């Protein structure tokens, strides 16, 4: 059981839509669509991926981190350190 387990179906649906959007960008490149229109589409997919990340972070904090904190302050602290590193990677990407 992880933070996202309850919403697995929702995440799978969003990821499959993102996969389709990436395939759509390949098609645009293949059909010589104008660069700027491709860039707009790449920005849209990037945003959709970031929304998935933000959702996963929230679910992780709300389950894994809260549960660990309720076990012991030390367990909470360790999970927080790990989550903070993942958040840093997101902010910097």
Footprint of a second copy (CB under 8 A):
1-5, 8, 11-12, 15-16, 18-19, 22-23, 25-26, 29-30, 32-36, 38-40, 42-43, 45-47, 49-50, 52-54, 56-62, 64-66, 69-70, 73, 76-77, 80-84, 86-93
Smallest gap from Cβ 81 to a second copy, in A, equals 7
Range list of H helices, 4-93: 8-30, 35-60, 66-71, 73-92
Tokens of 9: 């179906």
Angle at 8 between CA 4 and CA 12, to 5 degrees: 125
Hey, what are 29's tokens?
């490149």
Could you tell me the smallest distance in angstroms from the CB atom of residue 13 to a second copy?
Answer: 10
């Amino acid at each position: 059981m992880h933070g996202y387990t309850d919403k697995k179906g929702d995440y799978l649906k969003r990821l499959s839509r993102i996969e389709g959007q990436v395939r759509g960008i390949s098609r645009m490149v293949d059909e010589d669509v104008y660069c700027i229109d491709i860039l707009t589409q790449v920005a849209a997919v990037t945003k959709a991926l970031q929304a998935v990340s933000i959702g996963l972070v929230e679910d992780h904090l709300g389950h894994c981190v809260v549960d660990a904190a309720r076990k012991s302050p030390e367990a909470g602290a360790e999970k927080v350190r790990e989550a903070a590193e993942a958040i840093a990677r997101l902010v910097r990407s």
